[in-house]
Structure 1
Amino acid sequence: MHSFEVRGGKKLQGEIIPQGAKNEALQILSAVLLTPEKVTITNIPDILDVNLLIELLQEMNVKVERTSRDTAIFQADNVNIDYLHSDDYKKKSGRLRGSVMLAGPMLSRYRKAFIPKPGGDKIGRRRLDTHIIGFEKLGANFDYNNEDGFFHLSAPHLHGTNMLLDEPSVTGTANIVMAAVMASGTTTIYNAACEPYLQQLCKMLNRMGAKISGIGSNLLTIEGVTYLGGTEHRMLPDMIEIGSFIGMAAMTHGDITIKNASIDNLGIIPEKFRQLGIQLEFTGDDIHIPSQDIYEVQRYLDGGVLTIYDHPWPGFTPDLLSIVLVTAIQARGSVLIHQKMFESRLFFVDKLIDMGAQIILCDPHRAVVIGLEREQKLRGITMSSPDIRAGVSLLIAALSAEGKSVIQNIEQIDRGYQYIDDRLRKLGADIKRVEG
């Protein structure tokens, strides 16, 4: 096990380029299974979750040619379907929640799929109902086998249908779309997710020959086709990493420019950080966060305390609530953070309280942050990362704290952020990776 040793109090300064989007990568890489032709993907993030998915594809006999660190050519012309029911696949995919994304393409092209019990974050239940119900409506048969621990899916014939999703799940929508693109007839998905990463997937599938309309809305219409071909695709920069860098700049009193941020695809993310009083300057596609002595949380017009909560796109992404929470620690004013989707995602705040933050955990879903206004610095402690986003939130706190902090279980951080320690050192951070 590795840890980060951080000596805080350094002002981060300089330029940084965000990695390719993790959440997009898990969908796009799964989609290469839909065609026997070559698919070239660029801006692939070099992180644990993505590398594990590529490893799973290789174990399935998908040919993978890495032409550079962030570019690969995939060809799924001789897929070993039986590998998906092996103990090795169960062991590897159980560590990666994103492996569920393989089910839609496999059903679409090979008419059967296996889903192990999902792994990933320790942030509460993340159910598969939306995926399974969608597959069933397309004509798939579903059975859970207690002996082997797999969900078994088979679909001798997939047919178009109308469906209303019970939740606008991003992964659920993506999986159903990939299953429906080669079903006979027309499928309509209402209450579909419409995140930029899902839009990216749909645009890629259309370049491969799919017929998807309504992209960017919550009503998708998919006319089934019989064959999909190869294509080229470039992933968007990771919006969660961009938000993390904004938080790091504010908390460390730093001055950072985020290059090539794809601002048009960030939705209301910049506005939410501005509500915390953080200045953001746009130049072309770059975001500059200048050094600020004080950033003040906005209030509502009636004087009420600002509430920031997660909501399906175009609302605020839940993956950035942990970042907003930790960034508010040194603000002037108070903010209520309301995490609606995951019941355990705020349980890392006890570590921030131990560091000196003024936070009231109201219940598993809500926390009030009372800003310190930079009058009191956080103090370094030893802590453990419970999930990807909480791990980076703790790292942001450590970078701003007085003294030494040790963050354990950093494999969680490595799952979502590539070379984060090397990149932060270039901004002036005092951070090193240690064993044990």
Structure 2
Amino acid sequence: MGTFQIEGGHSLKGEIIPQGAKNEALQILCAVLLTSEKVIIENIPDIVDVNKLITILENLGVKIQKQAKGTFSFIADDINLSYLESDLFKEEGSSLRGSIMIVGPLLARFGKGYIPRPGGDKIGRRRLDTHFQGFINLGAEFRYNREERFYGVEAPEGLKGAYMLLDQASVTGTANIIMAAVLAKGTTTIYNAACEPYIQQLCKMLNSMGANISGVGSNLLVIEGVTSLNGCNHRVLPDMIEIGSWIGLAAMTRSELTIKDVSWENLGIIPETFRKLGITLNKVGDDIHIPAQEEYEIQGYIDGSILTVADAPWPGFTPDLLSIVLVMCTQAKGSVLIHQKMFESRLFFVDKLIDMGAKIILCDPHRATVIGHNFKSSLRATTMVSPDIRAGISLLIAALSAEGNSTIHNIEQIDRGYENIVERLQAIGAKITRTDS
């Protein structure tokens, strides 16, 4: 198990380049299964979850070549479907939640897809009904082996377009259904579709391959099925979650940072949300410049009531940044209510922040009130265990702001979502080292 040793209390300075978006990369990589032609993808992040998916694709028979840092070519012209029934796949697929998105492409192109119950963060219930109900709507037959915890869908006669109203705007569910529908016969209409920039990127990529998807960017997608798709070149967006993480880091350490090439047009309300929390963000070309701030004050509402930061489907605020916002507000001037609607276990990491001296009231599994210190007292260094990716990076930010030496164990959770984080933080002045046992 890996460990971070952090000497906190230092301000940072410099430039940091966000990695490619993890959540987009997982979708885009699965989409290479939809064609036998070459697909070239740029800006793929070198992180554990993405590398696990690349290994699964390789074991499926996809020919993969690394062309440059973050750039790979994929040719899925000789797929080994027997791998799906192997013990190796049951082990590899169950360790990665994103592996669920290979099912849609395999079902569309080969008439069947299987997946063991996938893993991922322990942040609450993350049901898969939206995925499989979408496949059923397209004409697939569903089965679940409870003993082996193995899902399967088959459509030996092919898929047929259908109208469907999704029960929730699931990002991975929408992506999976889109990939299944692009090769279905007829018209598929998906209402209450997720419309995150990553879904838009997937649709743009598929359209460049010859798919016919309209309504991109909205929650109503219309897909006219085609018989086959071509290859393409695609570039993954910068990771908005990492961008938000670096904003939180700059605020907590009172540092001047420049985040390069952030793709402002795809950040939605993220910059404005941080501004409501008192953070100064300057747009310089396509960069974000954050000046060093001695304090930042949370805005209230017009009627004087406490500000609430809540997650919501896009274009609302992404749930993956609520942990960052929460830790950042521990040193703000003022108070805020954090409302995590989507996952009932994601706020449980606050007990570690309370141990560090943060003033947080956990109202229930979904809500926490944070009373900011305004830097009048520093957080205390401590020893912690990272429970998941986003809580892990939040605890790391807290440790970098705290006076003294902190230790964070189980940092493999952070590795799942952040590329070369030690080297990148050291480059801007952070006092952090890593040991692996």
Normalised by the length of structure 1, the TM-score is 0.99
> In the alignment, residue 25 of structure 2 is paired with which amino acid?
A
**d(CA) in 2 for partners of 1:55 and 1:336?**
41
AA paired with 1:389?
R
Q: Which SS does the other structure have where 2:100 is aligned?
A: helix
| Pairing 1:317-336 to 2, within 5 Å after superposition | 317-336=318-337
Query: In 2, Cα distance between the equivalents of 1:10 and 1:323?
Result: 19
Deviation larger for 114-123 or 143-152: 143-152
- Paired position in structure 1 for 2:278: 277
Letter aligned with residue 356 of structure 2: M
2:202 corresponds to: 201
Residue 103 of structure 2 aligns to a residue whose secondary structure is: helix
> For residue 90 of structure 2, what is the aligned residue in structure 1?
90
Q: Secondary structure of the residue that 2:29 maps to in structure 1?
A: helix
After TM superposition, give the deviation of residue 115 of structure 1 in Å: 1.6
Q: Which residue of 1 aligns with 2:365?
A: 364
Structure 1 residue aligned with 2:211 = 210
Q: What residue is the counterpart of 2:6 in the other structure?
A: 6
Distance 1:146 1:372 in 2: 50
- Determine whether 1:222 maps to 2:243: no
- Residue 23 in 1 paired to residue 23 in 2? yes
Deviations 1:58-98 (A, max 9, x none): 00110000012200000000000110121101101111000
What is the TM-score normalised by the length of structure 2? 0.99
User: Partner of 2:189: helix, strand, or coil?
Assistant: strand
Question: Whole-Å Cα distance in 2 between the matches of residues 424 and 324 of structure 1?
Answer: 19
Match for 1:253: what amino acid? R
Q: CA shift at 1:313, angstroms? A: 0.2
Secondary structure of the residue that 1:330 maps to in structure 2?
A: coil
2:288 counterpart of 1:287: yes
The 5 Å alignment of 1:157-176 reads: 157-176=158-177
Distance (Å, rounded) in 2 between the aligned partners of 1:114 and 1:435: 35
Aligned match of 1:178: 179
| Map 1:235-384 → 2, pairs under 5 A | 235-384=236-385
Partner of 2:59: 59
Query: What residue in structure 1 maps to residue 35 of structure 2?
Result: 35
Indicate the SS of the match to 1:153.
strand
Alignment partners' CA distance in 2, 1:206 and 1:81: 26
Whole-angstrom distance in 2 between the partners of 1:93 and 1:113: 12
CA drift at 1:109: 0.3
> After TM superposition, what 4+ stretches of structure 1 lie above 3 angstroms from structure 2?
none
Q: Distance in 2 between matches of 1:375 and 1:92?
A: 48
Distance in 1 of aligned mates of 2:137 and 2:11: 54
Structure 2: distance between partners of 1:67 and 1:4: 32
The structural deviation recorded for 1:435 is 2.4
- Give 1:9 shift: 0.7
Q: Look up the match of 1:75.
A: 75
Residue 434 of structure 1 deviates from its aligned partner by 1.1
Give per-residue Cα distances to partners, 1:198-219, cap 9 Å, x unaligned.
0000000000000000000000
CA shift digits 1:378-413 (9 cap, x unpaired): 011000011000000000000000101101110000
| SS across alignment from 2:330 | helix
- When the two chains are superposed, the root-mean-square deviation of aligned CA atoms in Å is 0.6
CA distance in structure 2 between the partners assigned to 1:86 and 1:411 by the alignment: 26
The answer for the alignment partner of 1:128 in structure 2 is 128
2:141 is the alignment partner of 1:141: yes
The answer for the alignment partner of 2:400 in structure 1 is 399
Distance in 1 of aligned mates of 2:34 and 2:84: 16
The one-letter amino acid of 1:54's match is I
Q: Partner of 1:240: helix, strand, or coil?
A: helix
Amino acid in the other structure paired with 1:330: Q
| Residues in 2 aligned to 1:297 and 1:261: alpha-carbon distance in whole angstroms | 24
Deviation for aligned residue 1:146: 2.5
Aligned residues: 436
CA distance in 2, matches of 1:133, 1:266: 30
Structure 1 distance, partners of 2:76, 2:166, is: 30
Question: Residue type matched to 2:345 in 1?
Answer: S
Deviation readout 1:92-132 (Å, 9 max, x if unpaired) = 11110000010000001001000211101010110000001
**Mapped partners of 1:94, 1:316: distance in 2:** 29
Structure 1 stretch displaced more, 326-335 or 81-90: 81-90
1 CA distance for matches of 2:428 and 2:323?
A: 22
Give the Cα separation in 2 of the matches to 1:105 and 1:257: 39
Could you report, residue by residue, the CA deviation over 1:172-199 in whole angstroms, capped at 9, with x for unpaired residues? 0000000000000000000000000000
Amino acid at match of 2:80: N
Distance (whole Å) between structure 2 residues aligned to residue 349 and residue 210 of structure 1: 45
Which residue identity is paired with 2:261? N
Give the 3-state SS of the residue equivalent to 2:337 in structure 1: strand
Q: How far is the alpha carbon of 1:148 from its aligned partner? A: 3.0
Matches within 5 A, 1:96-107: 96-107=96-107
Unaligned runs of 5+ in 2: none
SS at match of 2:249: helix
The separation in 2 between residues aligned to 1:190 and 1:222, in whole angstroms, is 11
Amino acid at match of 2:398: A
Distance across 2 between alignment mates of 1:137 and 1:147:
26
Q: Deviations over 1:319-367 (max 9, x none)?
A: 0000000010100000000000000000000000000100000000000
Instruction: Report the secondary structure of 1:222's partner residue.
Output: strand
2:69 and 2:93 mapped to 1: Cα distance? 23
The answer for unaligned runs of 5 or more in structure 1 is none
Q: Distance in 1 between matches of 2:116 and 2:94?
A: 6
- One-letter code aligned to 1:128: L
Q: What's the secondary structure of 1:302's corresponding residue?
A: coil
